[in-house]
Amino acid sequence: MECPLLCPCLQQVPGDAVAQDDEVDQGGVAPVNTKFVLCSMYILIGMALIAMCFNLMQEKVVKGVRSLGRKLARKSMKTVGVNPGGEDSQ
């Protein structure tokens, strides 16, 4: 199965490839596929927005967990009888 695919490649002469490249080259300007560029930009902008949303939500969750931890620490200190200032209540 691979032999028919390899044979045309192996039969080419290196000089032929250079001649074909010169024929295709039109002043060094490659054709631009605008749909591809626009689609790529759209996807990149969307990915950037999603990354920012994840970052904002992560900050919000971390802030909430820290405040919950502080509240629970205060309640546990009150039930044990320790002042949050470090002094004994006696």
54 within some domain: yes
13 within some domain: no
Average pLDDT over residues 11-34: 60
- pLDDT at residue 26 in the model: 57
21 within some domain: no
18 within some domain: no
46 within some domain: yes
62 within some domain: yes
Three-state secondary structure call for residue 88: strand
Query: What's the total number of domains in the chain?
Result: 1
- pLDDT at residue 13 in the model: 53
Measure the CA–CA gap between 54 and 74, rounded to whole angstroms.
30
CA angle (64, 68, 71) in 5-degree steps: 140
Average pLDDT over residues 10-33: 59
36 within some domain: yes
Question: For residue 69, which of 59, 81, 61, 79 has the smallest C-alpha distance?
Answer: 61
9 within some domain: no
Measure the CA–CA gap between 18 and 31, rounded to whole angstroms.
19
Q: The domain containing residue 62 runs over which residues? A: 31-78
Contact of 83 with 77, CB cutoff 8 Å: yes
